[in-house]
Homo-oligomer: A and B are copies of this chain.
Amino acid sequence: MRATIYGGPGDITVGERPDPRLQHQTDAIVRVTLGCVCGSDLWYYRGVNPHALGPIGHEFIGIVEQTGAEVSTVRPGDLVVAPFTFCDGTCANCAAGWTGNCLNGGSFGNHGVDGGQGEYVRVPFADATLFAVPGRDHSDAVMKSLVALSDVMCTGHHAAVSAAVKPGDTVAVVGDGAVGLCAVIAAKRLGAERIIALSRNPARQALAEQFGATDIVSERGDDATKVIMDMTAGVGVDAALECVGTGQSMATAFGVARVGSIVGSVGVPHDAVVPIQTVIFRNIGLRGGVAPARRYIPDLLDDVVTGRINPGLVFDHETSLDGIHDAYTAMLERRATKSLVRISG
């Protein structure tokens, strides 16, 4: 099969990989229809975070081609969403709902598991991992939103759930990448009344507003904190969603969070420091991390299939598998918020 190969920093190509075969009776083989590029893939591309040489990509949807004898919840022909991590569904963490922290799981495109930026993927623990979407004849817009469920929409949702967003809340979303934009959707969906999106990019500002942002703040750092504190009568927001993972984004999130609230953080941390004095002296909590996407997909699916939420709109660039290098560089050069990769029909 043809698949994207990570050859080291800056080296993303399409090459040949062995066709995946069932290795365990709990495996399924999925033909990937749509994949995409994640912000975390860019960290690998830039050589900041390590990644094994070989297959890459962890967000995809596709059609089940083959299943092992012990697979019962999905069957050949099913349209499935793969969460970005596979999980056994039975370990202590999975049993507690933390499917992204499965003791026997891992991430696609890592540790010898096929990546989602290729034609086929062997999916371990298919019953626990894959989620079969009712029907196959969804619009292209819905299909894109289903890919978003693989990671970014669930990750944005995790930020909002971690920060305990509730009806009527004022929420600040720090970060206007795909995850931040999905966090706006999530906050709106959970009933937030006022959603303050931090962005200085006109296209992303517009999408944030389309997703439910009521206010846009284009300042950064201390200036952003000051503006948002002024907007909230000096009290701060009921929930701050940190969707970047840098020192500045963490400082901004803690700077605008009201006493007693929780910062929901889902950015991959790079030089992020938790201001412990603020935690203790303002009673501001911190929750978040790797989203338990498999747990969230069923909760979010109906809203996606009916079009009540449209996270697929974060894809503003498309390539074929052959265009994968452009898919990466478009995001790196900020020509794209997030790149969709059309792999098979």
A134 interface residue (CB < 8 Å to B): no
- Encode contact with B along A314-341: 1 for CB under 8 Å, 0 otherwise: 0000000000000000000000000000
CB contacts (< 8 Å) of A287 on chain B: these are 262, 279, 283, 285-287
- Encode contact with B along A66-110: 1 for CB under 8 Å, 0 otherwise: 000000000000000000000000001100111011000000000
A52 interface residue (CB < 8 Å to B): no
Q: Which residue of chain B lies nearest to A232 when distances are taken between CB atoms in the complex?
A: B92
CA distance A282 to B290 in the complex (A): 7
B290 touching A280, Cβ below 8 Å:
yes
Number of copies of this kind of chain in the complex: 2
Q: Which residue of chain B lies nearest to A268 when distances are taken between CB atoms in the complex?
A: B280
CB contacts (< 8 Å) of A250 on chain B: these are 276
B289 touching A281, Cβ below 8 Å:
yes
A273 interface residue (CB < 8 Å to B): yes
CA distance A98 to B261 in the complex (A): 10
A161-179 residues at the B interface, CB under 8 angstroms: 162
CA distance A124 to B292 in the complex (A): 48
A272 interface residue (CB < 8 Å to B): yes
A260 interface residue (CB < 8 Å to B): yes
A285 touching B101, Cβ below 8 Å:
no
CA distance A93 to B282 in the complex (A): 10
A283 touching B92, Cβ below 8 Å:
no
Checking B92, B279, B281 against A286 with a beta-carbon cut-off of 8 angstroms, the contacting residue is B279
| CB proximity of A322 to chain B, nearest CB, Å | 34
Q: Which residue of chain B lies nearest to A285 when distances are taken between CB atoms in the complex?
A: B287
CB contacts (< 8 Å) of A281 on chain B: these are 289-290
B274 touching A286, Cβ below 8 Å:
yes
A260/B162 contact (C-beta < 8 A), A283-B288, A286-B274 known: no
A259-277 residues at the B interface, CB under 8 angstroms: 259-260, 262, 265-269, 272-274, 276-277
| CB proximity of A43 to chain B, nearest CB, Å | 13
CB contacts (< 8 Å) of A101 on chain B: these are 259-260, 282-283
A231 interface residue (CB < 8 Å to B): no
CA distance A262 to B340 in the complex (A): 36
A274/B279 contact (C-beta < 8 A), A92-B235, A98-B259 known: yes
Checking B98, B276, B284 against A283 with a beta-carbon cut-off of 8 angstroms, the contacting residue is B98
A277 touching B283, Cβ below 8 Å:
no
Q: Which residue of chain B lies nearest to A275 when distances are taken between CB atoms in the complex?
A: B274
CA distance A285 to B162 in the complex (A): 9
B260 touching A279, Cβ below 8 Å:
no
The winner among A274, A289, A292 for most chain B CB atoms within 10 A is A289
| CB proximity of A171 to chain B, nearest CB, Å | 16
The winner among A233, A268, A280, A292 for most chain B CB atoms within 10 A is A280
B286 touching A285, Cβ below 8 Å:
yes
Q: Which residue of chain B lies nearest to A262 when distances are taken between CB atoms in the complex?
A: B287
| CB proximity of A339 to chain B, nearest CB, Å | 24
| CB proximity of A255 to chain B, nearest CB, Å | 15
Interface residues of A (CB under 8 A from B): 92-93, 96-98, 100-101, 162, 233, 235, 245, 250, 258-260, 262, 265-269, 272-274, 276-277, 279-290, 292
